[in-house]
């Protein structure tokens, strides 16, 4: 499995209404990161503070100039769902994650163990 190359596919796929945040995350943003909280409406995230409608993509995702890389402007305060991604090899395949290598596809159980080790500090373990 390759290191993440910041292709942004995960954020582009899930950033437009495909994510949620817990009440505690939203409460924390309200107190500590009001600029993030401005993009919350009725418990949903990435709502336009101007129109009140779901945004097409995460407002915190930025493409680096002249590169095929993206950065998250709220990386350390992003929702838990973002921190936990990717969870499974199947999810990575479905999302065409560029971290996957051919050998991962040939041995998905081993690849899942590798992924679990890589993500151990970012998310709870996958229950099987």
Residue 106 has pLDDT above 80, yes or no: yes
- The reported pTM is 0.82
The predicted-structure confidence for 58-93, as pLDDT tens digits, reads as follows 999 999 999 999 999 999 999 999 988 888 999 999
Extract the tokens encoding 96.
């065409």
The predicted-structure confidence for 11-52, as pLDDT tens digits, reads as follows 998 888 888 999 999 999 999 999 999 999 999 999 999 999
Least reliable range by pLDDT among 43-57, 86-100, 109-123 = 109-123
Residue 124 has pLDDT above 80, yes or no: no
Q: Cite the beta strand spans of the chain per DSSP E.
A: 40-41, 44-45, 61-63, 70-72
Residue 117 has pLDDT above 60, yes or no: yes
What's the number of CA atoms in the CB half-sphere (13 Å) around residue 46? Answer: 21
CA distance 26 to 7: 27
pLDDT of residue 27: 97
Extract the tokens encoding 66.
């002249």
| Residue 58: count of CB within 10 angstroms of its CB | 25
Could you give phi then psi for residue 66, rounded to 5 degrees?
60, 25
Helix or strand holding residue 22 (H, E): none
| Residue 108: count of CB within 10 angstroms of its CB | 16
| Residue 82: count of CB within 10 angstroms of its CB | 20
Residue 122: pLDDT band with limits 50, 70, 90: confident
């Amino acid at each position: 499995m390759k290191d993440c190359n910041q292709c942004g596919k995960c954020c582009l796929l899930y950033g437009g209404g495909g994510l949620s945040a817990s009440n505690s995350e939203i409460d924390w943003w309200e107190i500590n990161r009001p600029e993030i909280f401005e993009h919350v409406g009725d418990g949903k995230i990435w709502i336009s503070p101007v129109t009140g409608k779901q945004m097409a993509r995460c407002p915190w995702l930025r493409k680096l100039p002249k590169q095929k890389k993206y950065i998250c402007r709220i990386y350390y305060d992003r929702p838990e769902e973002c921190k936990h991604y990717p969870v499974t090899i199947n999810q990575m395949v479905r999302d065409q994650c560029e971290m996957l290598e051919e050998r991962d596809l040939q041995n998905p159980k081993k690849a899942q163990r590798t992924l679990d080790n890589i993500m151990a500090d970012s998310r709870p373990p996958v229950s099987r």
